[in-house]
Amino acid sequence: MRQYWIWPCGHGRNTEYLKRYAKQISLVDVNKTAIDACKLRFGDSMDGCKFRYYVTDGNHLNMIADAQITLLYSWDSMVHFDKLVVRDYMPEICRVLRPGGRAFLHHSNYGAFCPNSDWAHNEGTRSDVSAPIFRDYAQQFGMRVISQRLMGREDGWGMDDIDCISVLEKPA
């Protein structure tokens, strides 16, 4: 069974599209208000997809059992995660993915321009994570980096190479 995990889920903008492809989606966010909004929007099930809801403490995914997730998806939130928070989540990402499972993660690359900078003063409040740092964290915890794609002006962002999409895989 395809089981997706959307983290942080926000108010479910991308869940609306991903529910077409999954039998079950676990929605995770640090913000209880976001979880409550998704519960109202999707309920226990919709269009053949079942939903589970979790509030995280901001560094761990203890509520998800080992090797349960087929696809982990994060869009437009990790760009703001401090690089130490990103590092804290990497072993959790590896733990919850099934062997052969993948993670599609949109994160900052602003650290390539301003390493060790303060996110509050960075363009778009981006963290100082970079694509190479992200790749190193993933590999350190046994994840395979399938691809990384830098994003910029042609994608609608305010500067070139400000963000990155990394696709990771847990080895089988």
pTM of the model: 0.93
pLDDT in tens, 87-139: 999 999 999 999 999 999 999 999 999 999 998 999 999 999 999 999 999 99
pLDDT in tens, 8-46: 899 999 999 999 999 999 999 999 999 999 999 999 999
- The tally of domains found in the chain comes to 1
Q: Taking the CA of residue 130 as centre, how many other CA atoms within 13 Å lie in the half-sphere pointing to its CB?
A: 9
70: part of which helix (H) or strand (E)? strand 69-74
Radius of gyration of the chain (CA): 16
Range of the domain at 164: 3-169
Write the CATH number for 8. 3.40.50.150
